[in-house]
Amino acid sequence: MTRKPARLLRALLVLCLLAPGAGCAADEPDPLVVLGPWTGQEGAAFEAALEKLDDGTGREYTYEGTRSLRETLLSQLEADAPPDVAILNSIGELTEYARRGRLRPLADEAAERAYSPWAPPLLVDRANRRYWVPLKVDVKSLVWSEEGASSEDPEWCVGLASQATSGWPGTDWIEDILLHQAGDGFYEKWATGREKWSSPAVERAWTTWARLLGDRDPASVRLSLTTSYEGESVQGEGKPRGLLDSPAFGGCTHEHQSAFVRYLYTDDKVRVEPSARFLDGRPEYRDAYEVAGDMAAVFSDDPAAQELVERLSSPGGRQAWRDAADPPVRPLFPDTAELPPASDDDPFEQEIASLLTSRARTLCFDASDVMPPELRDAFHRAVLEYFRDPAPGHLKSLLEQLDTVSARVDDDYSGDRSFRPPQDICADTGG
């Protein structure tokens, strides 16, 4: 399998069309285009895994990695030039694309690996089918802390900025709190639009977050609103580092953040543990975990796209990806039967993998990534507004606004073409 930059391949195709006598092969297939979220080390490892999946056909491909995934995909769809395969982390967006007729149902081989809760079946045109498969997964119900720091009175590091999607670290907090206070049944109904934002349980999750963070002066609030999880200002430059290691956050001892940040903490001065003990939750929900994933979906009718998704999600594809990745960015996978054993060179990976394979009783997909994009974006904005001003009256207004947005989504789309996501976004693992 050869690899050429997408722009070069498209330029060569144009030249062939303009100069039919130039010796271009008329029956040479177009390159297979994969659009995904990984850049840098992660992107290089994924590309290396793609190269190892050569099936001997000589089919060319190109990987396009971008941090502006939704904007890039939407522009390609508007230009009627979608990728063959796109890798997204939002069930809400995938649902929208499937019900607009942009996604192709998965072939049987890949559909068998559409594990819950990452890839529930979706009803489209009266048929219940699988439209995406998880390639890589993360655990979100985690707390990172300085080794030796007391957990009795944490000083929380908070970075809420993330360019166009600022606010999601705060939504992760509220979702995790709600899951551990109200349980997976309520969480599932709320995330899929069947419980109101203004309900007492949801309101309590927001006020618990504010109480756990404690009083913050205006300078601290500004810092959190303009700093990402990498501990650098959005406009800043320099090597990424975790908030626990960032000089600007001197004095903070704990961070609530997903498993993917382990690449920022590569020494033995930081530990990771489940978040439940910190969230003022109920004991019966202690073994519930919020999770996220990067899911592959097929946007073209090219059979090679289906074959690629099947190979990427296969044991061989996963092993190739693991082998190509450095330990801090080595992917985790969603099922226990085919999950390669965690490597002993990365204690964080061992700890987090054990949660997925044996210790978790319930896994629930990230609620904001389940919601229709319009509602998810409103949730992000509301979190930022609440962080600026956690007054009770302000919270009441914000939750009423979210109820309004939620109702509008239902009014705009109904029936079989509803953009509401599937309802089964929590799964009992038997752990």
Q: pLDDT tens-digit profile of 352-367?
A: 988 888 889 999 999 9
328 preceded by a cis bond (ω within 30 of 0): no
Has residue 127 been placed in a domain? Answer: yes
The 3-class secondary structure across the chain, one letter per residue, is: CCECCHHHHHHHHHHHHHCCCCCCCCCCCCCEEEEECCCHHHHHHHHHHHHHCCCCCCCCEEEEECCCHHHHHHHHHHCCCCCCEEEECCHHHHHHHHHCCCCECCCHHHHCCCCCCCCCCEEECCEEECCEEEEEEEECCEEEEECCCCCCCCCEECCCCCHHHCCHHHHHHHHHHHHHHHHHHHHHHHHCCCCCCCCHHHHHHHHHHHHHHCCCCHHHHHHHHHECCCCCECCCCCCCCCHHHCHHHCCCCEEECCHHHHHHCCCCCEEEEECHHHCCCCHHHCCEEEEEEEEEEECCCCHHHHHHHHHHCCHHHHHHHHHHCCHHHCCECCCCCCCCCCCCCCHHHHHHHHHHHHHCCEEEECHHHHCCHHHHHHHHHHHHHHHHCCCHHHHHHHHHHHHHHHHHHHHHCCHHHCCCCCCCCEEECCC
Phi-psi region of 363 (alpha: psi -120 to 50; beta: other; left: phi over 0): beta
Q: How many CB atoms lie within 10 A of CB 428?
A: 13
**Same domain? 51 vs 96:** yes
Of 168-177, 246-255, 293-302, the poorest mean pLDDT is in: 246-255
Sign of CA dihedral 25, 29, 32, 33: positive
**Same domain? 245 vs 117:** no
**Same domain? 92 vs 130:** yes
**Same domain? 73 vs 124:** yes
**Same domain? 200 vs 65:** no
pLDDT per residue as tens digits for the range 28-39: 678 899 999 999
Has residue 203 been placed in a domain? Answer: yes
pLDDT per residue as tens digits for the range 402-421: 999 999 887 665 555 566 78
**Same domain? 159 vs 265:** yes
pLDDT per residue as tens digits for the range 47-73: 999 888 765 556 778 899 998 999 999
Has residue 360 been placed in a domain? Answer: no
C-alpha–C-alpha distance, residues 243 and 232, integer Å: 8
**Same domain? 84 vs 230:** no
Across 250-273, average pLDDT: 91
C-alpha–C-alpha distance, residues 354 and 348, integer Å: 10
Q: For residue 7, what pLDDT is reported? A: 44
Question: Which two three-digit tokens encode residue 53?
Answer: 């999946």
Domain count, the chain: 2
Strand pairing report for 254-256 and 156-157:
parallel
Q: For residue 11, what pLDDT is reported? A: 42
> Which of 276, 307, 341 lies at the terminal end of a domain, its last residue?
341
pLDDT per residue as tens digits for the range 182-200: 999 999 999 999 999 999 9
Has residue 17 been placed in a domain? Answer: yes
Has residue 355 been placed in a domain? Answer: no
**Same domain? 226 vs 374:** yes
Across all residues in the chain, what is the average pLDDT? 87
Has residue 96 been placed in a domain? Answer: yes
21 phi/psi in degrees, rounded to 5: -95, 10
C-alpha–C-alpha distance, residues 95 and 100, integer Å: 8
Has residue 218 been placed in a domain? Answer: yes
**Same domain? 204 vs 79:** no
Has residue 335 been placed in a domain? Answer: yes
pLDDT value at 16 more than 90: no
**CATH number of the domain where residue 99 is located:** 3.40.190.10
Q: Which domain holds residue 229?
A: 139-289+365-428
pTM of the model: 0.90
**Same domain? 279 vs 326:** no
pLDDT per residue as tens digits for the range 216-232: 999 999 999 999 998 86
Q: For residue 164, what pLDDT is reported? A: 80
**Same domain? 28 vs 64:** yes
Across 256-272, average pLDDT: 90
pLDDT per residue as tens digits for the range 231-245: 865 555 567 889 999
**Same domain? 127 vs 221:** no
